[in-house]
Homo-oligomer: A and B are copies of this chain.
Amino acid sequence: MNYNKIFNKLYPLCRSISGPGFRNSLKILSKFINFKIYKFRSGDKVYDWKIPMEWSINDAYILDGYGKKIVDFKKNNLHVVNYSCPVEGKYSKKSLLKKIHSIKRFPNLIPYVTSYYKKNWGFSVKHKNLKKFKTNSYFVKIDSNLSLGHIEYGLKILKGRTNKIILISSYLCHPSMANNELSGPLVLLGLYEKIKKLKNRKYTYYFLINPETIGSICFINKNENILKKNLVGGLVLTCLGGPKKNLTYKKSRDGNTRFDKIFTYLSKFDKGYEIREFDPTEGSDERQYCSAKLNFPVGQVARTVYGQYDEYHTSGDDKKFMKISNIEKSVNMIIKVIKINEHINPIERINPKCEIQLGKRNLYPNLASFKTRKQSSDNRIDNRNQLRIIQNILSYADGQHFLIDIATKLNINLSLIKKVNHILKKNKLVKN
Contact = CB atoms under 8 A, between A and B. Distances in A.
Interface of A: 46-50, 82, 101, 103, 105, 111-118, 120, 213, 216-217, 220-221, 224, 253, 280-281, 287-288, 290-295, 307, 312-314, 349, 351-357, 359-360, 371-378, 387-388, 391-392, 394-399
A415 to B, nearest CB: 20
A105 to B, nearest CB: 8
Contact of A293 (B224, B352, B359): B352
B280 A394 contact: yes
Contacts of A224: 353
Given A103-B378, A114-B372, A312-B377, 7 more contacts: A47-B353, A47-B354, A48-B355, A50-B360, A112-B376, A113-B376, A292-B395
A397 to B, nearest CB: 5
A352 B113 contact: no
A356 B375 CA distance: 61
A355 B114 contact: no
Among A372, A392, A399: residue with most chain B CB under 10 A: A372
A431 to B, nearest CB: 12
Contacts of A357: 48-50, 117
Contacts of A111: 376
Tell me what chain A mostly uses at the interface: helix, strand, loop, or mixed: loop
Nearest to A307: B377
Contact of A213 (B46, B118, B355, B396): B355
A349 to B, nearest CB: 5
A371 B115 contact: yes
A48 B372 contact: no
A291 B353 contact: yes
A179 to B, nearest CB: 15
A372 B288 contact: no
A188 to B, nearest CB: 21
Contacts of A359: 116-118
14 contacts: A47-B354, A48-B356, A49-B357, A117-B372, A117-B373, A120-B372, A213-B355, A280-B395, A280-B396, A290-B395, A291-B394, A292-B353, A293-B353, A295-B398
Contacts of A118: 359-360, 371-372
A115 B287 CA distance: 60
Closest 10 CB pairs of A and B: A280-B395, A293-B352, A114-B374, A292-B352, A117-B359, A111-B376, A281-B391, A288-B354, A47-B354, A217-B354
Contacts of A291: 352-355, 394-395
A47 to B, nearest CB: 5
Contacts of A46: 354
A359 B52 CA distance: 13
Given A111-B376, A280-B392, A117 B353 contact: no
B351 A47 contact: yes
A351 B48 contact: yes
A392 B394 CA distance: 42
Most-contacted residue by chain B among A351, A354, A377, A388 (CB, 10 A): A354
B374 A116 contact: yes
A290 B353 CA distance: 9
A105 B377 CA distance: 12
A354 B220 CA distance: 8
A370 to B, nearest CB: 10
Contacts of A392: 280-281
A287 B373 CA distance: 14
B398 A287 contact: no
A396 B292 contact: yes
B387 A281 contact: yes
Contacts of A376: 101, 103, 111-113, 313-314
Contacts of A388: 281
A50 B393 CA distance: 22
Nearest to A385: B281
A375 B113 contact: yes
Contacts of A398: 292-293, 295
